Amino acid sequence: MCGIAGILKLDRTTAAPAEVLERMLQSIYHRGPDEDGRLFDEELAMGMRRLSIIDLADGQQPIFDESGRYAVIFNGEIYNYRELRQELIGRGHTLKTHSDTEVIVHLYEEQGPDCLEQLRGMFGIAVWDKRERKLFIARDRMGIKPLYYAIKNNSLIFGSEIKALLVHPDVDAALDLRGLSNYLSLKYIPSPGTLFEEIQSIPPGHFLIAQNGRIEIKRYWNISYAKPHSIKSEAEYIDEAAELIRESVKLRLRSDVPFGAFLSGGVDSSTIVAFMAEQMSEPVTTFSVGFGEGDELPYAKLVADRFGCDHHTLNITAADFIEHAETVLWHMDQPIADQATVATLMVAKLARQHVKMVLTGEGGDELFAGYARYAGERFSPYTRWLPNWAGRIIRSGARRLPGMRRGKLALHALTTGNEAQRFANWFPMFNDETKRQLLTERMSDYREGAADIFAHHLGECDAREPLDRMLYVDSKLWLPDFLLLRGDKLTMANSLEARIPLLDHKLVEFAARLPTKYKLHRGDRKYLLKRVAERMLPSEIIHRRKQGFPIPIDRWLRNEARPLMRDMLSQESLQRRGLFNPQFVETLMQQHESGYADNTTELWGLVSLEIWMRRMIDEDAGP
C-alpha cells in the first residue's frame, strides 16, 4: 500500500523537475511512511511512498523487468500475486523479490495493457517503457484506489491524491463550478470530474497511455448484468456466494504485518469477520465506534463475542467531530456530504494503534441491493404515468410537511421524469427544485440536476431490469466516488491499509449475473447475502434495520456544532462566495434549529464545502 506521483514532460524538450516530484511525494507522506522510491529518466520523474505490507525486506519500488526496459510504481495490493509469480517463473521470468509489485512489471512486459485482466486486487499503477518513451497508468476495476491527473503546460502530472498535484507550480487550485453543481446534487463529485478545474480523475476500470505528446484513456473492464441461460437453485447460489466470499477473504489475509477488521455490527462487516474467524488460528482483532446513544456497538459486541474477537471500541463526541472536521476535509481532497467521515478517520486511528491492515465490509449494499431506495424503486411503475401537473402538486405538498425527510425525497424521486432523473433524485443533497432555490445568478448555468450523468452511465449498462440498472449506476458513481473515496483517504490518513473482500471482481461479476429476486426478494433487501450470513451469524444481526453510522449530528448542529455551522454559513461568508442565496440557507438553518425539519444533510454538506474552500482554495493546500 502506497501513494504514487509523477510528472511527464509531453514535449520532451526539458527534463521533468526532480525537486517538484520531491514535494509531491512529501505531500502524501502519510500514505507511505516506511520508504520512498523514485525514477528519473529525462522527461519523466515518478516516485512513490511505501506502506510496507508484503515482502517487507525486498519490496522497494520502482521495480524493473530483467532487461531494465520497464519500471513500475504501484499503490495497492495484487492478492493473487503468488499464483501469478509461479506462472511467470514457469514461463522463464526471473523474479528477484516476493512482492506483488514485481509480478505487474513482468506481466506488462508480456502482455502490455492486457495484463490488467490477470490482476485481482486494488491498484493505481504506473509503468514506464524506457525504450518506447511511453507511460501507462491504470486504476483498478471498482475504483478502490484513487488516481488523478492534470495536463498543464505540456506536462502530464499524476498522483494518488489531489494535494500532490496541487504542489506542482503549474496546477492552480481553481474551483470547478460544474463539479460544485454535481456535488450539490449528489453529495459527491463523480469521476472523471473533481472540484478543481484543472484536475481529473481516471475513472474506475480505465487506463491512460501517454506517448509522443498524445494522451489516450480507455476502458478495460465493465460490469455485465447479462443473465446466464441456465438458472441455478437458491441453495446453489448460496453455496457459490459463500465460496466466493470465503476465497476473497482468504486472498486478502495474505499479509506480512498484523491485521484486523472494521466491525459495525451490520450484515456486511459481520459476515467478513465470520469468514476471517473461520480461516484464522488466532482471534480476529476488530474495531468499532459509537456515539454514546442509539449506536451499533451492542451489535458489534454480539458478533465479537460470538467469534472470540480481540475487540476494541471508541466513543466519538461532538467535540471530536468539530475538532477533526478540517483534518478530514484536507485528507479527503474534496468534500462529500457525509457525517461518517470523522468516525471513519477515528476508527482508522484506533485500528492503527494495533494493526497495519484491516478488512472492511464495503460493497455489499451495491452488489446485493441493501439500500432502501432499491425497494422504493419498485413503486415507480405506479407513478411514472402521472401527468406532470400531478407530480408538481405532490412535490409541492410534500415540501410543506414538517419532518419526513426520507419520505419527501422518495416522493420527489418517484414523481420525477424519466429513469435517469428518478435515479438522480433518490436521496440527493439538494434535489432539482431546492437546488434552484439555493443557487445565485452566478451559478445560473449550473442549476440543473445530475440526470445527464446517470443517463451517460445507463447508456453503457447492459442490464434490462430496473433494479440491476440502479445497482449499476451506484457501482459506477456512489460506490467509488463516495464510499470508496472516504475509505481510502481516511484509512491512508492514518497509514492504514483497508482491503475490501466483497469487491473482488469475481464476486462482483457473480452478483451482477444473479436473478434479481435473490437481491431484492419481496421487499427483503440483500436477500442472498443474508442467506449466506444465516449460516454463521446470530439472527439479531441479520434481521434488523440498517443503520449505517448513526451519528447524532442533527442534534449536534442544534447545540455543540451550532457555532461552527453559523460561522461557516454566515451571511458575510455566503455573500463573499457569491454562490448561494443567503436567505435560503438561513431558512434551512432556522428550520433545523427549531426542529421543524431535519436539514442535516444539506447543512453539513454546505458546512463541509465552506471548510474545504477555506482550506484548499483560499489557503495553500499543504499540510
| DSSP per-residue string spanning 579-616 | SB-HHHHHHHHHHHHHTS---HHHHHHHHHHHHHIIII
pLDDT of 413 above 80: no
Rounded to whole angstroms, the Cα distance separating 76 from 121 reads 7
Mean pLDDT of 2-23: 96
Question: Can you give the pLDDT at residue 432?
Answer: 82
Given a contact cutoff of 8 angstroms between Cβ atoms, the answer to whether 600 and 553 are in contact is yes
List the single range of 73-87, 373-387, 404-418 with lowest mean pLDDT: 404-418
CATH number of the domain that residue 22 is part of:
3.60.20.10
- The closest alpha carbon to 434, from 458, 405, 456, belongs to 405
Listing DSSP states for 494-509 in one string gives: TT-EEE-GGG-HHHHH
Question: Can you give the pLDDT at residue 505?
Answer: 98
Question: Can you give the pLDDT at residue 433?
Answer: 83
Rounded to whole angstroms, the Cα distance separating 315 from 292 reads 6
Burial of 481 (0-12, 13-18, 19+ CB in 10 A): buried
List the catalytic residues: 2
* Residue 14 located in a structural domain: yes
Rounded to whole angstroms, the Cα distance separating 414 from 425 reads 9
Question: Can you give the pLDDT at residue 439?
Answer: 97
Contacts of 615 (CB under 8 A, 6+ apart): 326, 329, 330, 621
Burial of 447 (0-12, 13-18, 19+ CB in 10 A): middle
* Residue 382 located in a structural domain: no
> pLDDT by residue (tens digit) across 251-263?
999 998 999 999 9
Sheet holding 2-9, edge to edge: 35-41, 44-50, 2-9, 155-159, 148-152, 200-201
* Residue 571 located in a structural domain: no
Q: Say if residue 204 is preceded by a cis peptide, omega within 30 of 0.
A: no
List the single range of 375-379, 400-404, 578-582 with lowest mean pLDDT: 400-404
Contacts 24+ apart (CB under 8 A), 316-322: 316/289, 316/290, 316/291, 316/342, 316/343, 316/346, 316/551, 317/291, 317/292, 318/556, 318/559, 318/560, 318/561, 319/560, 320/346, 321/551, 321/553, 321/556, 321/561, 322/560, 322/561, 322/564
Percent of the chain with pLDDT over 70: 92
Rounded to whole angstroms, the Cα distance separating 24 from 447 reads 35
Question: Can you give the pLDDT at residue 390?
Answer: 59
- The SS3 of residue 21 is helix
- The SS3 of residue 237 is helix
Cα→Cα distances 21→215, 473, 495, 579, 604, Å = 21, 36, 21, 35, 35
Question: Rounded to the nearest 5 degrees, what angle is found at the Cα of 373, between the Cα atoms of 368 and 379?
Answer: 110
Contacts of 92 (CB under 8 A, 6+ apart): none
Rounded to whole angstroms, the Cα distance separating 587 from 442 reads 20
* Residue 383 located in a structural domain: no
What one-character DSSP code corresponds to residue 445? G
- The backbone region for 444, taken as left when phi is positive above 0, alpha when psi lies in -120 to 50, beta otherwise, is alpha
Rounded to whole angstroms, the Cα distance separating 367 from 471 reads 7
Question: Can you give the pLDDT at residue 79?
Answer: 97
Rounded to whole angstroms, the Cα distance separating 482 from 548 reads 14
Mean pLDDT of 443-460: 93
Instruction: Dig out the grid coordinates for 61 from the structure.
Output: 519500488
Given a contact cutoff of 8 angstroms between Cβ atoms, the answer to whether 101 and 74 are in contact is yes
* Residue 75 located in a structural domain: yes
Percent of the chain with pLDDT over 90: 83
Mean pLDDT of 423-441: 89
> pLDDT by residue (tens digit) across 494-553?
999 999 999 999 999 999 999 999 999 988 999 999 999 999 999 999 987 765 566 889
Give the HSE-up count for residue 138: Cα atoms under 13 Å, Cβ half-sphere: 28
Mean pLDDT of 384-408: 61
> pLDDT by residue (tens digit) across 108-167?
999 999 999 999 999 999 999 999 999 999 999 999 999 999 999 999 999 999 999 999
Residue tagged 454566515 (cell numbers): 570
Question: Can you give the pLDDT at residue 549?
Answer: 60
Question: Can you give the pLDDT at residue 402?
Answer: 60
pLDDT of 404 above 60: no
The total of structural domains in the chain comes to 1
Mean pLDDT of 306-325: 95
List the single range of 171-180, 234-243, 390-399, 484-493 with lowest mean pLDDT: 390-399
* Residue 396 located in a structural domain: no
Where do the H-state alpha helices sit in 70-117?
81-90, 100-111
Highest mean pLDDT among 58-67, 90-99, 196-205: 196-205
Which structural domain, as residue segments, surrounds residue 132? 2-219
**pLDDT tier, 572 (very low <50, low <70, confident <90, very high otherwise):** very high
Residue type, 426: W
* Residue 326 located in a structural domain: no
pLDDT of 399 above 90: no
Dihedral, CA of residue 242, residue 248, residue 249 and residue 254, to nearest 10: 150
Burial of 152 (0-12, 13-18, 19+ CB in 10 A): middle
Question: Can you give the pLDDT at residue 489?
Answer: 98
Instruction: Dig out the grid coordinates for 118 from the structure.
Output: 490477470
Given a contact cutoff of 8 angstroms between Cβ atoms, the answer to whether 137 and 207 are in contact is yes
Mean pLDDT of the chain: 92
* Residue 324 located in a structural domain: no
- The SS3 of residue 444 is helix
Instruction: Dig out the grid coordinates for 332 from the structure.
Output: 479527503
Question: Can you give the pLDDT at residue 215?
Answer: 97
Sheet holding 206-211, edge to edge: 63-64, 70-78, 121-129, 134-139, 206-211, 214-219
> pLDDT by residue (tens digit) across 204-250?
999 999 999 999 999 999 999 998 878 899 999 999 999 999 999 99
